[in-house]
Chains A and B, each alone.
Chain A
């Protein structure tokens, strides 16, 4: 693995954490959406991360016995899943989406836990930016040898 490979790993994490933040903000934005195109209230979504093998170019660069090393794994968003938790029901008879008994199904989104998740994504993003900065400085230092 070279230093550019290290940057590639951290960059994959930046992308994944950004998608996570996007999904969380979409949950927050739709915290009160009682109508969706699929019918029913909005359902909370969650990302599932999976470790990813390095790209072809990276494997080629470290060809030979090192190519199969287990540690050089970036991360990717494997899927975005719906949270199966039941909708929150509130008694609002005047609401247009209320059922016959006057109850409205609201999305199963808890703004507090979403905010915590958003902070987690932001912190993880920052940490990976630090890793990229470290790699950049190391490359810069290597160039210094030539001077």
Chain B
């Protein structure tokens, strides 16, 4: 035989019974009897609308068994939270005291008002034995007699409350503003035990309002907004009434209902602002409490989304078929479409113009510009060929004819000092010659150095050759070959060869020449010759002659070797291009070099001092003539350039003037 569980007491009874034999509650309710359907067609449209909005879940859907089986249904934030937020409620200890006072055990019968704000207080949690609040109902009934007489329709509206009083159990109606704004959780089909028409309407309302007085007494010691205990001793009902301009709740409710009846939908029923009066503002939760309840914010802000989430049925996995499954991943980790930002720049016209210029420049850089085919003969080619041809003709004509006749340069102190020093050399004394000029300058350097070598040979000086450049040794051999054509004294010299190490090698050679260059260029011991056998340092040479076209090499000899000469003279035979940088060493006081011969001019002057001819003498007329023409070319070129520049400036001036 099947059994049915009592929705009130939870005790199972026979399935064919309609009334619970233990508590008297109706065991079965037809499907078409919803929470407010008992009102029939007399329910106002606005109230139906409220029901539809605030009670998306059918009341019958969450009532599945007795009190022990009933679960807290999670839904949108109930309206009662706007009235009694969590902080408005007394702490746990206060409930315990209430329970003790009321004579009920804490675990079963106390009013569980400390539930989560987004939880729905179902009827099982709000059921209070009628015997406890019975006196409050009677007292409330007496105080609302006048109100009941004026509002007949309200009697019918509040009829369900009368049903809950039946069998010594009282339900807290949702429209009290304490529980919920709709009848979704109180209008349980099993709570409706009798139709409203069975009780007098005045008694229904009185009993319905009894619970308010009961709560007013229970929470008389707490402030309605802050939830903190107050010492005024006012009950909750009176405090709510104070929010409505000092009137009590018994005085305020009829006014509210009358306004609703007249269709003033802007009136907020449950303690909201009425005609500019302050509403019953929910208490501000402490921040730490808000942090602990993030669901609340989501539920309040998007109730529809939360409902949809709850209504979502899991389609796969072990939880398939269940509702309201929390997602495995937080929403934050889900991929979202990146935000799009406007890329429109705010630039000025000038910036746009400059950007266009830059873009054009970049574009032009990437564009290959075809190189125009250069003509075979240009004006530059013609000018270069013309100048070179002219120089060739001048030089050749001068070499052939020996014209013009140009006098030798006057003897100057620079090469005159060289001549004087060589004249003072004793026969057989060692003279060191550093041949440090490149073969490319042999045309200029061969002439003066050959004169000096011939001069030294005439004075029977013993020549010792060294070099600090790689080609110097072979250049020395060539130089001696040229000299030998005039003077056959090939045995009077020693070619020590190449001094490696640059300036460092020169410094070392100045201090210990035998250790740096122990053998000559032919691989024989160099210092066994009697003339140089006693040489220990560079100061033992009677004269040092440096032949170079490079001013840096000349400076290295001066800087590294001269300090070790200890009074021995040093002279130089240099190219004309090195003369400006060597001359200061000669004109210094005291002199750092004792004389020098510079290029062709110095050689010609030295020849005049030697009173001997040379095959290089015929260079002198050609040199003077070509230098004259070279000067003329430079001057003419400069004048032409000035004229061109002047004309270009005039053209720019004309263009700018236009």
Mutual binders A and B: no
Chain B interface residues toward A at CB < 8 A: none
Chain A interface residues toward B at CB < 8 A: none
